[in-house]
Every structure is written in structure tokens, then in C-alpha cells.
Amino acid sequence: MIDVAFVLDSSSKSQGQAAWSQMLSFVNLIIDRLKISQYGLRVAFVNYGDTANVEFSFSTYNDRESTKQRILSIHYLGTGGSNLAAALDALRNQVFLTSAGARSLAPWVAVIVTDRSPTIRTQDTVSIASQLRADGIQIIPVGVFLSGQLNNILNQIAYEQTRVTTVNTYSQLTGVAGQVASWICTSYLSE
């Protein structure tokens, strides 16, 4: 029993829709390695750019195929700003709540996929991530096109620095899907 929220940066990208499609495919590759069910692992999804949108909550889907189909239908925002703080707020105030379907006895995991440092509310990002970790939420950050600044942010928000994953291109995401899925499956060991 694990509750996993995927958080994807949908702010403007140099490769636009193509990059977004590869990020969604990466999430579905992870989901292919997980057993989604009402009493097992459940998934939520947050999409963010200038603001954050909770696309669906933990109680929405109870099977892999419905979850994957819904993920592929999530639209690329393409907004100018990257407001990771808003996405983290959404996790804390809308997703990881028992009233929103999160299970109090399940490990709570957030997989965050981003390709740029936050540009909005940058000073809030690390402190909100600290609050999430204090609430028992294990953050697994995945970064694409790493700059020193983004790498620093990922290390600061991670549950454990050993669970920070970085790749140079969107196409390399497929190569780390198994590792991220493994970390999700072993999250209960980290409690």
C-alpha cells in the first residue's frame, strides 16, 4: 500500500509539446512497473507552470490502464513561469490529505519531474519541501538538462540525496524509469 503523486513541470520548454510527451511517457513507464489497485498502490497527478493544477487524486483510478490513459490526456501548459512552490503547496493542501483520498497508513511519495529551476516563489520552494518531508512525504526529484542551480534545488528538496535522479535529455528518462519505480516500491522501508 503506497500513495504516489507525480508532479510534472509543464512550464515552457525549448522542445515544447515533444518534451512534455516524453515526460508523460516516462511517468507511464514507471506506472508499467507498479501494481495499481484500490488497496495497493494508488496515483495522483499535479501539473504545474505559473500555477499548479491537481489533475486527479488518489481515489480517482484503481487500475493501471485507466491511470495511463488519463496521464496521456493531460495537456501541456506551456506557461512562462515555473512555480514548483505552488505544486508543493498543492501536494500538501490538496493531494496528501485523507479527505482527498490519501491513506494515513500508506507511505506517501512524490515524484517530481522538472527541467528548470523555479522562477516563481523561488524562496518558498525549499521551505515548503521541508514541510512536506516533516509530514512524512518522500520526495523523489528527477531533473532533465541539469544546471548547477537546478541540481542544488533537487538536492535540497529530496527526501534523500541518494534518490535524486538526473538526465541530460528527455529521451534519457526511459533509462531511469526502473530505478524510480524501485525507489517507490521500497519507500515503505524508509519510513
Rounded mean pLDDT, 56-80: 95
In DSSP terms, which residues pair with 54 in a beta bridge?
46
As a whole number, the mean pLDDT across the chain is: 94
Rounded mean pLDDT, 98-113: 96
| pLDDT tier at 189, thresholds 50, 70, 90 | low
Worst-scoring range by mean pLDDT, 127-136, 141-150, 153-162, 175-184? 141-150
User: Domain locations in the chain?
Assistant: 2-187
Those residues whose C-beta lies under 8 Å from the C-beta of residue 183, and which sit 6 or more positions away, are: 109, 140, 163
Q: pLDDT at position 15, please?
A: 82
Rounded mean pLDDT, 94-102: 96
Backbone angles phi, psi at 150, to 5 degrees: -65, -45
Q: pLDDT at position 149, please?
A: 84
Residue 25 has pLDDT above 90, yes or no: yes
Q: Does domain 2-187 have CATH number 3.40.50.410?
A: yes
| pLDDT tier at 190, thresholds 50, 70, 90 | low
Q: pLDDT at position 191, please?
A: 47
Residue 47 has pLDDT above 80, yes or no: yes
